[in-house]
Amino acid sequence: MSLGSTTESQPGRIEQQASDVCISGDWTLLHYAKLKQVVAHAGEVPANTSINLQALGVLDTAGAALLVELLGTERLLRISDWAPDLPEARKALLETVAEALSEPLNPPTPPKAPVTDFLARVGAGTEDFWQQFTALLGFIGLTLEAFAATVFRPSRWRLAALAMHIKQTGVDTIPIIALLTFLVGAVVAFLGATVLGEFGAGIYTVNLVGFSFLREFGVVLAAIMLAGRTASAFAAHIGSMKANDELDAIRVLGLNPIELLVLPRVLAMVITLPILAFVGMIGGLLGGLMVCLLVLDISIAQYFAILHRDIPVHHLWVGLSKAPVFAFVIAVIGCLEGFKVTGSARSVGEHTTSSVVQSIFVVILLDAVAALFFMEMGW
């Protein structure tokens, strides 16, 4: 912003007269380097010195900032009192620049008390958790509504998509689940043989492996594996579709994204996780069998005889009963995080990571609640 004529550009000057200072010439960005040297050489003008601005030429914000440095902010904030003949536009420019420079660029922030800061973070975390929880409940409602609208209309079933997701979430995951649970079962059996052997109760390692994998480890390990492998895939796939405006195109075509994208994935997970949990249980028992054969000299027949005698079959049903619930929650969280993507690649990555973290947390939370419930029920 500049004020004044630009026909002849003459660098600004500071002339010291008897009892006043005369400021003349152009004070613009074009002459900023030279004017800076002039101001630095002159220093700040004393407060009792009279200032004459009648010969002032072109003026812009850069020159006004130098005049503030030369004359001081307090003097220029009162420019209407000692320079009434100066054009109003120039007085307004000088007052505005002086007011802006009188305020610190980084105002000091008052120190926060540790307790206040802690409570603020707790409150923000609680609010964020509540928003996530309500969003999840709302999305579960939309999913159930879409399921109720299509379950009695076979023409709207997406069997091809369902079969594809069953293959991706179930068939392709069986080797990973089997290997993982086999190794964990071997570790649990080895720890049980080491600890229980000190008390002469090494034979109860079979019971330890049987109870732990039929009730907990089989389904939990399978659910955590799907949370990391499948929920992230759901979030990334739907999130990339959201970023590419494909979801808007689906709505324009008159289709329901929940029915088209979410339902096949949720149903596929509900079908495959009980199967994977059963595979995990078998893998864990076989891992425990290997350790019992090598460390405790328990034969295969004796191993399965102990399982048959000491572990009722209802423990198997307790473990499998949790699988559909885990599957539903994992699939819904993965799809919901995909719908939350805002449109950038960074957002896709953030919500993919969030889907994994939330799924694993919810699985462990639900498993703890279920364990307490079954314990109180005596099941």
The answer to whether the CB of 33 falls within 8 A of the CB of 12 is no
The per-residue pLDDT for 103 is: 67
Query: Which is more confident, 123 or 87?
Result: 123
Query: Which is more confident, 83 or 275?
Result: 275
Q: At what angle are helices 345-377 and 218-226 packed, to 10 degrees?
A: 170
Q: What are the phi and psi torsion angles at 321 (to 5°)? A: -65, -25
The per-residue pLDDT for 6 is: 47
Whether pLDDT at 194 is above 70: yes
Identify the residue whose tokens are 């010291």.
16
Query: Which is more confident, 63 or 268?
Result: 268
* Cα 184 off chain centre by: 31
What tens digit of pLDDT does each residue of 231-263 get?
888 888 888 888 888 888 888 888 888 888 889
Q: Quick one: which of 71, 22, 24 has its CA closest to 44?
A: 71
The answer to whether the CB of 29 falls within 8 A of the CB of 63 is yes
Write the CATH number of the domain with boundaries 2-102.
3.30.750
The per-residue pLDDT for 241 is: 86
Whether pLDDT at 2 is above 70: no
The per-residue pLDDT for 20 is: 75
Average pLDDT over all residues of the chain: 84
Whether pLDDT at 169 is above 80: yes
CATH 3.30.750 intervals, the chain: 2-102
Whole-number Å distance between alpha carbons of 206 and 303: 7
The per-residue pLDDT for 185 is: 92
Mean pLDDT of 287-293: 91
What tens digit of pLDDT does each residue of 63-118 get?
778 777 777 777 777 777 777 777 777 778 777 787 777 766 556 666 767 888 88
The answer to whether the CB of 68 falls within 8 A of the CB of 98 is yes
Whole-number Å distance between alpha carbons of 26 and 5: 9
The answer to whether the CB of 65 falls within 8 A of the CB of 32 is no
Q: Quick one: which of 57, 62, 76, 66 has its CA closest to 1?
A: 62
Helix %, strand %, coil % of the chain (to 5):
75, 5, 20
What tens digit of pLDDT does each residue of 199-227 get?
888 888 899 999 999 988 999 999 999 98
